[in-house]
Amino acid sequence: MREIGGIRQQSGWTLWGLLGMMILVAFFTLLFMKLFPPYMANYKLKRALETVASEPGAATATKSFIINRLDKILYIDYAGGLVDLKTALKIERGSRGRAFVISYEHVEPLAFNLSALIEFENRVEVSRYR
């Protein structure tokens, strides 16, 4: 207790303050535990896309070859079936080469009927002058 001008004043946490802080910590812990796995899976997908783009002949590879190669890499990384690559993979042509783009959405249920929608877009530029 502190004494201000002869009056004793209590300071510190109350039970309600402690309970509120514990609820906030539990909420953000739940949020982290639910949203971390989709971001890790997206990291594996991006790394696989960069691996395919760095291989020789990637600038002239067909879409089916790229999808097949990505499927094999993702299967090894335990991330197979993450996204339908036939619809998510786009190959864009530019003046300096090609770009492999994978864009998809992931819905992660949090609690009851509350869900989080996460949008991912991974782009890797492939120069034709490798």
Give the pair of three-digit tokens for residue 73.
Answer: 């890499």
Who's near 118: CB < 8 A, 6+ residues apart?
A: 35, 38, 39, 105, 106, 107, 108
The predicted-structure confidence for 116-128, as pLDDT tens digits, reads as follows 999 999 999 998 7
Give the pair of three-digit tokens for residue 39.
Answer: 């971001």
Predicted structure pTM score: 0.81
The pLDDT-based confidence of 94 (bands split at 50, 70, 90) is confident
Domain spans in the chain, listed from the N-terminal domain onward: 34-127
CA dihedral sign, ordered 96, 97, 102, 103: positive
Alpha helix (H) residue ranges in the chain: 15-54, 63-76, 85-88
